[in-house]
Amino acid sequence: MSDDHCILSVDRLSMRFGGIVAVNELSFEAGRKKITALIGPNGAGKTTVFNCITGFYKPTGGTMRLASDGGPIALERLNDFRISKQAKVARTFQNIRLFPGMTVLENLMVAQHNTLMRASGLTFLGLLGVPSWRTAEKSAIEHATFWLNRIGLYDRADDAAGNLPYGDQRRLEIARAMCTEPVLLCLDEPAAGLNARESAALSELLLSIRAEQGTSILLIEHDMSVVMEISDHVVVMDYGVKIAEGAPHDVRDDPRVIAAYLGADEEEAIAVMESDR
């Protein structure tokens, strides 16, 4: 894929923790304005890949190139907060990480930290309350309100984030990530713990983010109904390596994928599939 079609290309990514190889020479590409799903059994190394892409781990080998407007960015050279600030890659977490003691609106305001920091003249102009700061703050609140409406939490804007029901917290975390205006949104199991109705609403939200904001999405997911419904491309991992990739329906029928999920030998899986037909 060329840069026009590909937002992220991961090339021979490896991550070792001492003697344990969590990710071994993984290569895949995530399409621009596409939803790419990373699936695989527990312990396959999916979250490790995410932590490498979002700068929480420094990979032991390989490259990750993000095609941004200002030219390609080597993600493996950025670390920590710079991934979000400079490369515009946002993420959510498997176990929700909101700011529970802050209100829903405040959570979305914190996400706009870097924009607001500039507008407040690194705090000094903001301390004096100059008009340009006031307008910047107002537009930040408007931006947050826009996302509150998108996730249907406008009425709960002034409630503590920790008081929201589980499904709302999941959606708020996605909205908070979107408030950083990312080019790539990485979602770590966004449908975990959601019921069927909430899962459907989540799929709808992700599709609308791709369509309206044009944000590329990379997601880890166990809920196959969500993966099959919304993803354009699926990458399957097991034991730190890629075992299959392709369109959702091709991957679903791949014997290696079934073997990985069922924990059976390849021949057995093929035998199972053939007996089905």
Partner 1 sequence: MGYVTASATDHKQPRAGIAFILKKALISAFVALVLFSLMIGIRTEAGPTGQLIYWTRFGELATLVAIVFVGSIAIELVRQWLGPAGASQLVPAPVQNGLAAAGRYVAPALLIFTLLVPVIFYRQRYILDLGILVLTYVMLGWGLNVVVGLAGLLDLGYVAFYAVGAYSYALFATTFGLSFWICLPIAGILASLWGVMLGFPVLRLRGDYLAIVTLAFGEIIRLVIVNWQSLTGGPNGISSIPRPTLFGIPLTPGPNGLAAKLGIAFDPTHRLVFLFYVILAMALLTNWVTIRLRRLPIGRAWEALREDEVACRALGINTTTTKLTAFATGALFGGFAGAFFATRQGFISPESFTFQESALVLAIVVLGGMGSQLGVALAALAMIGGFELFRGLEQYRMLVFGIAMVLLMIWRPRGLIGHRAPTVYLKQAQAISSDLVKEGHG
Please give the residue ranges that form the binding site for partner 1 (CB under 8 A): 54-56, 80-85, 90-91, 93, 97-103, 105-106, 109-114, 116-117, 120, 123, 126-127, 129, 141, 145, 154, 157-160, 162-163, 176-177, 180
- 3 state SS of 185: strand
> Of 141 and 192, which CB lies nearer to partner 1 in the complex structure?
141
How many residues can be counted in the chain? 277
**CB 220, min distance to partner 1, A:** 15
> Of 176 and 210, which CB lies nearer to partner 1 in the complex structure?
176
Alpha helices in the chain (DSSP H): 46-53, 82-85, 104-111, 113-119, 124-128, 131-150, 166-178, 196-208, 224-230, 248-252, 255-262, 266-276
**CB 190, min distance to partner 1, A:** 14
Q: Are 54 and 236 in contact (CB under 8 A)?
A: no
> Of 12 and 85, which CB lies nearer to partner 1 in the complex structure?
85
Q: Are 226 and 203 in contact (CB under 8 A)?
A: yes
> Of 27 and 114, which CB lies nearer to partner 1 in the complex structure?
114
**CB 145, min distance to partner 1, A:** 7
**CB 157, min distance to partner 1, A:** 4
> Of 103 and 213, which CB lies nearer to partner 1 in the complex structure?
103
- 3 state SS of 124: helix
Q: How many Å apart are CA 99 and CA 53, to the nearest integer? A: 23
